[in-house]
Amino acid sequence: MSSTSNAPPGNNRVRIVVATSVMLTFISYWRAAAVILNDLGSSAFYAGGIAEQAIGKSAPWFVLGVMLFAFAVRAVYVESCSMFVRGGVYRVVKEALGGTLAKFSVSALMFDYILTGPVSGVSAGQYIAGLINDTIAIADAHGWIPSAVHHLFNGTPQVGVNGTAVVFAIAVTLYFWWENIKGIEESSEKALWVMQITTVMVVMLIGWSLFTLLKVGGHLPPFPTLANIHYSDESLGFWKHSKLPHMFGILGLIIGFGHSVLAMSGEESLAQVYRELAHPKLKNLKRTAIVIGIYSFVFTGLVSLLAVMLIPDDVRVKVYSDNLIAGLAMNMVGPEVLRLAFRAFVVVVGFLILSGAVNTAIVGSNGVLNRVSEDGVLADWFRRPHKKYGTTYRIINLIVGLQLFTIIVSWGNIYTLGEAYAFGVVWSFVFKTISMLVLRYRYKGERNWKVPPNLHIFGIEIPIGLASVGMVLLSTAIVNLFTKSVATVSGIIFSVIFFSIFSFSERVNRRKHAHSAAQMKEQFQLQQAESVQRETVGIRTNNVLVPVRDYNTLNHLKWVLDRTDTRAQDVVVMSARISQFGTAAYGLSTEQVFSDYEQTLFTRAVSVAESFGKKISLLVVPARDPWSAIAQTAHNLESSAVVSGVSSKMTTAEQAFNLGSAWEAIPEPKRQFLLQIVQPNGNVDTFRIGPHTPTMKNEDVELLHRLWLNITREPGLENLHHHDILAEALTRLENDYAAAGHADIVRELRRNADGGPMPARLIADQVHTVESEASDRTNGDDKQRDETSSNPKITGPE
């Protein structure tokens, strides 16, 4: 095969280097905490209300207890991450208890994730509907509602809270469905921004509530004793007619605890962000755990407590149980208009954080299903990429379909949704903790941290801390099976269905993969490598990197092969295997990274190379973000050029901007390279990635020369160089720009910019490393155009 590169003697299969480590941009612990809190913090909006509906006025103590206990659960996650960099439930349970229980644990986790969307969407809808109704009621009280409207609605006009919540939840779910189909870009920046706004709200809420308490006073909720726990009809489930819950004090505590456990949903995200945490990872994970622990304790725990202390009993459950924070806002001291304005702010924040949780639910479940699909327990059919956007749209459709079904079936009943949600939350924790206990004895690999305390008796370790956390979780989960009938029935049905799908798919896939693996082995030789290095791929420096994604659009590869002498310059064809947020948290094997899609893609690429009779090297890189993957690969391989096709989603200038931003994130020292984007009509846009010597206009060169002639006439400056003058001019510009009057400079530069600020020019202004060659050289044209008739050499950076 002519396109084989570096194949061992006697082996004519095409060698593909498969990098098994996902390329990530590492984030600080603050950002990691923000990502987790977007999920964990959202439960503050509904957990307290749901708990009080189930067990009465002493609910805040249970919520506080759950938030306190969450610190101990976090310790379990820290230990699992200290063992596996991608220490999610599936990986840990599979390692400890085997594939069958891992499939069950993932089913429970999926139940959790799928319910996160509806519960968050409906909750946001309840807050919005509540605000609309209260605003109308206040307006009516002031006589601002015309009597005609009054007659029309037979009283004060009100929107149906549950109906509005359902419509809103469906709309938000559909919005994020479409965003995920298109391939949403997750950003810790966005999460941080949402958490900053939420923090402003939390500080105002707690400050104002404490001030109100000082002014009007308040009473602590009744302490959690059997006498103070008042079960609702739904809260005892299968024990509704049993005397048992009323006979045992501690059982009552467990029931109360079980009804509040959903307050700590979102902890699993801790394992998922660990992979992306910056160095020192374990220490930063602990810091993240502390931040989310304190934040959620204050937000969810304290707000639930203050709500019971400040909102009068007659309206708290009746009016505000589904939008407790809004109720808190309306029951503080101060003018009504100010309270209403603050309530609107609460609703805006709720909308942001709860909508974010809807998206997290889709992204998270897509990640988990992608992960299990890659492990062969979900049919490949689900993983087929979208023709236009390349996303796993069938998995997304399945998840969103289930979420919409849940929203409609529940018809906006947040209590039912929350109860069911707790099933997935608590059972995924139980599986995880029991697995960690088993791994204390079975796992012999590296473990940098252990949940304390641990006793050693006759050389045998007794993990007291881990076992204790497991006992609390298991006892709560067992009691929940009896007290949450809807959750138990729906959770078991859901888990059994998912488990059956996983098991059936696994059996089908095993047969199918055995056949395709045999086929693939005839064609490709996969070489696993932890990271991408030039030596591993076996290529020289100044090579050309060609990212490919769709096997139907390989024109840019043809363009490169047409112009490159591969005896002098290597061509590397690279596919970035995009791993979603969830999958990045798990370990990847060669088979997971190199699927049958990559097989088809590379078969086509090899066939193109063969048609040119030229050699190419093949590479698969798992990554969270394609731009980081390309930039990091080009950096590691010491490529001189990256040649890409045109994106269906963005302009070439935007492509260059994204690659430039990814290049900026690479630590120094780093090398520059050329980005050439080949359009379908054969035109090529060329950009330089990284700072470079600009191409100067003739008049600028003349001006520089004139200055040099004049200045060298000055005594003592005879030996001055042109670059000394440029350096002086730039230093002066830098100083002027830093000074207060830099607006003049900006204005002048704008005036001098020919043809006004073009999009690409604006982008280049923002990221100085991305700059079009031609924009320096010519007026008005941002890009250097290489016509197909010309034969430009692909060159390295100057």
Partner 1 sequence: MSLSVILIKIIEFMFVAGWIGSAIVLVLTGIEDVGTLLDRKDEKSH
Tokens of 70: 């969450």
Decide whether 250 or 709 has the Cβ nearer to partner 1.
250
Decide whether 31 or 371 has the Cβ nearer to partner 1.
31
Which one-letter DSSP state was computed for residue 452? S
Please select the residue that binds partner 1; options are 137, 174, 315, 464, rule is CB under 8 A: 464
The answer to whether residues 535 and 613 touch, using CB atoms and an 8 Å cutoff, is no
Q: Is 253 in the site for partner 1 (CB under 8 A)?
A: yes
Q: Is 31 in the site for partner 1 (CB under 8 A)?
A: yes
Reduced to 3 states (helix: H, G, I; strand: E, B; else coil), residue 57 is: coil
Neighbour tally for 441: CB within 10 Å: 11
Q: Is 476 in the site for partner 1 (CB under 8 A)?
A: yes
Q: Is 443 in the site for partner 1 (CB under 8 A)?
A: no
Site residues for partner 1, 60-99, by CB under 8 A, read 68-69, 71-72, 75
Which one-letter DSSP state was computed for residue 238? G
Residues contacting 200, CB < 8 A, separation 6+: none
Single-letter code of the amino acid located at 67: M
Decide whether 207 or 452 has the Cβ nearer to partner 1.
452
Q: How far is the CB of 398 from partner 1 (least distance, A)?
A: 36
Question: Does residue 335 have a cis peptide bond before it, meaning omega lies within 30 degrees of 0?
Answer: no
The answer to whether residues 349 and 197 touch, using CB atoms and an 8 Å cutoff, is yes
Residues contacting 12, CB < 8 A, separation 6+: 1, 4
Residue with tokens 């949704």: 417
Single-letter code of the amino acid located at 298: V
Stretch that binds partner 1, among 250-258, 299-307, 379-387, 437-445 (CB under 8 A): 250-258
Q: How far is the CB of 280 from partner 1 (least distance, A)?
A: 6
- Beta strand pairing status for 455-457 and 544-547? unpaired
Q: How far is the CB of 767 from partner 1 (least distance, A)?
A: 20
Decide whether 433 or 658 has the Cβ nearer to partner 1.
433
Q: Is 739 in the site for partner 1 (CB under 8 A)?
A: no
- Beta strand pairing status for 784-786 and 684-689? antiparallel
Decide whether 75 or 606 has the Cβ nearer to partner 1.
75
Decide whether 205 or 477 has the Cβ nearer to partner 1.
477
Please select the residue that binds partner 1; options are 377, 472, 588, 656, rule is CB under 8 A: 472
Binding mask 280-319 toward partner 1 (x if CB under 8 A, else -) reads x--x--xx--x-----------------------------
Site residues for partner 1, 184-213, by CB under 8 A, read 192
N- to C-terminal Cα distance for the chain? 35
> Helix 281-296 and helix 29-40: axis angle, to 10°?
40
Residues contacting 10, CB < 8 A, separation 6+: none
List Cα–Cα distances, 110 to 35, 203, 424, 735, in angstroms.
Answer: 19, 34, 7, 57
Q: Is 471 in the site for partner 1 (CB under 8 A)?
A: yes
Decide whether 450 or 614 has the Cβ nearer to partner 1.
450
Please select the residue that binds partner 1; options are 469, 501, 609, 643, rule is CB under 8 A: 469
Q: How far is the CB of 467 from partner 1 (least distance, A)?
A: 7
Q: How far is the CB of 286 from partner 1 (least distance, A)?
A: 5
CA angle 637, 690, 743 (to 5 degrees): 165
Q: How far is the CB of 758 from partner 1 (least distance, A)?
A: 33
Please select the residue that binds partner 1; options are 7, 13, 30, 246, rule is CB under 8 A: 30
Q: How far is the CB of 483 from partner 1 (least distance, A)?
A: 12
Reduced to 3 states (helix: H, G, I; strand: E, B; else coil), residue 613 is: coil
Cα 397 to its chain centre, rounded Å, is 18
Decide whether 283 or 697 has the Cβ nearer to partner 1.
283
Q: How far is the CB of 245 from partner 1 (least distance, A)?
A: 10
Which one-letter DSSP state was computed for residue 237? G
Decide whether 237 or 626 has the Cβ nearer to partner 1.
237
Q: How far is the CB of 778 from partner 1 (least distance, A)?
A: 40
Question: Does residue 280 have a cis peptide bond before it, meaning omega lies within 30 degrees of 0?
Answer: yes
Binding mask 743-762 toward partner 1 (x if CB under 8 A, else -) reads --------------------
* CA neighbor of 175 nearest in space, from 351, 12, 423: 351
Distance CA 564, CA 569 (A): 7
Single-letter code of the amino acid located at 511: R
Please select the residue that binds partner 1; options are 162, 468, 553, 683, rule is CB under 8 A: 468
Please select the residue that binds partner 1; options are 98, 452, 680, 694, rule is CB under 8 A: 452
Single-letter code of the amino acid located at 558: K
Distance CA 155, CA 151 (A): 6
Stretch that binds partner 1, among 142-150, 446-454, 486-494, 751-759 (CB under 8 A): 446-454
Burial 449-473 (b: 16+ CB within 10 A, else e): bbbeeeeeeeeeeebebbbebbebb
Decide whether 462 or 727 has the Cβ nearer to partner 1.
462
Decide whether 37 or 402 has the Cβ nearer to partner 1.
37
Q: How far is the CB of 462 from partner 1 (least distance, A)?
A: 11
Please select the residue that binds partner 1; options are 7, 145, 278, 753, rule is CB under 8 A: 278
Decide whether 382 or 427 has the Cβ nearer to partner 1.
427
Stretch that binds partner 1, among 150-158, 245-253, 584-592, 606-614 (CB under 8 A): 245-253
Question: Does residue 118 have a cis peptide bond before it, meaning omega lies within 30 degrees of 0?
Answer: no
Helices (H) and strands (E) in the chain, counts: 32, 12
Q: How far is the CB of 167 from partner 1 (least distance, A)?
A: 37
Burial status of residue 419 (CB atoms within 10 A of its CB: 0-12, 13-18, 19 or more): buried
Distance CA 592, CA 90 (A): 15
Query: Residue 579 belongs to what H/E stretch?
Result: none
H-assigned helices in 411-484? 414-442, 464-483
Q: How far is the CB of 22 from partner 1 (least distance, A)?
A: 21
Decide whether 464 or 749 has the Cβ nearer to partner 1.
464
Reduced to 3 states (helix: H, G, I; strand: E, B; else coil), residue 278 is: coil
Decide whether 401 or 452 has the Cβ nearer to partner 1.
452
Residues contacting 611, CB < 8 A, separation 6+: none
Please select the residue that binds partner 1; options are 28, 156, 232, 536, rule is CB under 8 A: 28
Tokens of 210: 């404490």
Distance CA 537, CA 637 (A): 8
Site residues for partner 1, 344-403, by CB under 8 A, read none
Q: How many residues bind partner 1 (CB under 8 A)?
A: 41
Q: Is 631 in the site for partner 1 (CB under 8 A)?
A: no
Decide whether 246 or 386 has the Cβ nearer to partner 1.
246
Decide whether 361 or 479 has the Cβ nearer to partner 1.
479
Decide whether 286 or 339 has the Cβ nearer to partner 1.
286
Tokens of 281: 């990872």
Residue with tokens 């791993």: 579
Stretch that binds partner 1, among 410-418, 475-483, 526-534, 548-556 (CB under 8 A): 475-483
SS3 string of 532-561?
CCHHHHCCCCCCEEEECCCCCCCHHHHHHH
Decide whether 278 or 340 has the Cβ nearer to partner 1.
278
Q: How far is the CB of 439 from partner 1 (least distance, A)?
A: 17
Q: Which residues bind partner 1 (CB under 8 A)?
A: 28-31, 68-69, 71-72, 75, 192, 244, 248, 250-251, 253-254, 257, 278-280, 283, 286-287, 290, 451-453, 464-465, 467-476, 478-479
